[in-house]
């Protein structure tokens, strides 16, 4: 999920109050008018006096964000990597279940993650078909990400959530994994203490 703030935006000759949402790869504004600014379309960016000024291929906009202006500018300049979004830290023990792309394996190695079947701190289950969701019953006590194709009927988000809950897990986060896949995070239910 991105960061959201109520603010005023000046765009061309228009000005409106509304909600600005800072996502992983785009900025969205909804008010009397709507804006969607992909980071790759930004040609200029400056933050000062509580204002975030953005020049992009569709024009220029000023977001009156107050103290958040500098933070938003920094996040736009340095968006989190895929491993940042997934919570992979250097030296973390990670287990891979299913078929994972070589570029993802290289990213994990580059981050210093340790592939391990024994006592992983984080699990990645890659599936292409809903019958592979049965693996969720065997993930154990570590948080698990299910990576599945986005926008296809053979595996829907509701099916992934239902399978996780049936395995006694709680869905906690969803994020874009790639152009073709989504990742949904589960954590084990906490057991009541006696």
Share of residues in the chain with pLDDT > 70 (%): 97
Q: What is the pLDDT of residue 1?
A: 47
Q: Which domains does the chain have, with CATH numbers?
A: 3-77 (2.30.29.30), 82-188 (3.40.50.150)
Average of per-residue pLDDT across 169-185: 91
Q: What is the pTM of this model?
A: 0.71
Position 62 confidence tier, pLDDT thresholds 50, 70, 90: very high
**Residue 2 pLDDT:** 64
pLDDT tens digits for range 90-129? 999 999 999 999 999 999 999 999 999 999 999 999 999 9
Give the whole-angstrom CA distance, residue 95 versus residue 129.
Answer: 20
**pLDDT tens-place string over residues 144-176:** 999 999 888 889 999 999 999 999 999 999 888
CA dist list (Å): 132 to 63, 84, 154: 45, 26, 11
Between CA 157 and CA 162 the distance in angstroms is: 9
């Amino acid at each position: 999920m991105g960061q959201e703030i109520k603010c005023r935006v000046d765009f061309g000759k228009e000005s409106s109050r509304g909600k600005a949402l800072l996502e992983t790869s785009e900025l969205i504004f909804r008010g009397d008018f709507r804006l969607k600014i992909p980071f790759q379309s930004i040609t200029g960016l400056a933050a000062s006096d509580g204002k975030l000024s953005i020049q992009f291929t569709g024009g220029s906009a000023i977001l009156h964000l107050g103290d958040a202006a500098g933070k938003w500018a920094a996040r736009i300049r340095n968006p989190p990597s895929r491993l940042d979004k997934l919570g992979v830290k250097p030296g973390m023990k990670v287990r891979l279940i299913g078929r994972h792309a070589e570029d993802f394996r290289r990213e994990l190695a580059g981050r210093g993650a340790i592939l391990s079947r024994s006592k992983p701190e984080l699990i990645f289950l890659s599936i292409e078909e809903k019958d592979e969701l049965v693996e969720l019953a065997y993930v154990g006590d570590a948080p698990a990400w299910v990576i599945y194709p986005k926008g296809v009927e053979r595996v829907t988000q509701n099916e992934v959530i239902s399978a996780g809950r049936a395995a006694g897990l709680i869905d906690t986060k969803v994020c874009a994994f790639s152009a073709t896949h989504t990742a949904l995070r589960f954590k084990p239910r906490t057991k009541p203490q006696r």
